[in-house]
Amino acid sequence: MPDNWSYVFSAYGLAAVVLVGYWRRLAGRAKSLAGRGERKGP
């Protein structure tokens, strides 16, 4: 049976894109919240 590495890599690649994408979304939201907090002051 052929090894079909392209399928393996696309599956892992897709997972990586999704997980990294979510991580970046979280990081972005956390940053904007932190910025907002600083502007509001203590």
Partner 1 sequence: MAARALGWLAVLALIAGLGAAFGYAPREAVQGNVQRIMYLHVPAVLTAYLAFALVFLGSVGYLLSRRAGWDRLALAAAEPGVLFTGITIASGSIWGKPTWGTWWTWDARLTSTAVLFLVYVGYLLLRGMVDEPDRRARAAAVVGILGAANIPIVHFSVTWWRALHQPAAILGPGSAPMPLWMKMALAINWLAFTLVFAYFLTRRMEIARLEQEA
Q: What's the closest the beta carbon of residue 42 comes to partner 1, in angstroms?
A: 14
Q: Which is nearer to partner 1, 2 or 42 (CB)?
A: 2
Q: How far apart are CA 24 and CA 34, in angstroms?
A: 15
How far does Cα 39 stand from its chain's mean position?
27
Q: Which is nearer to partner 1, 5 or 42 (CB)?
A: 5
By CB under 8 A, name the binding residues for partner 1: 1-5, 7-8, 10-12, 14-15, 18-19, 22-23, 26, 29-30, 33, 36-37, 40
HEC string for 4-23: CHHHHHHHHHHHHHHHHHHH
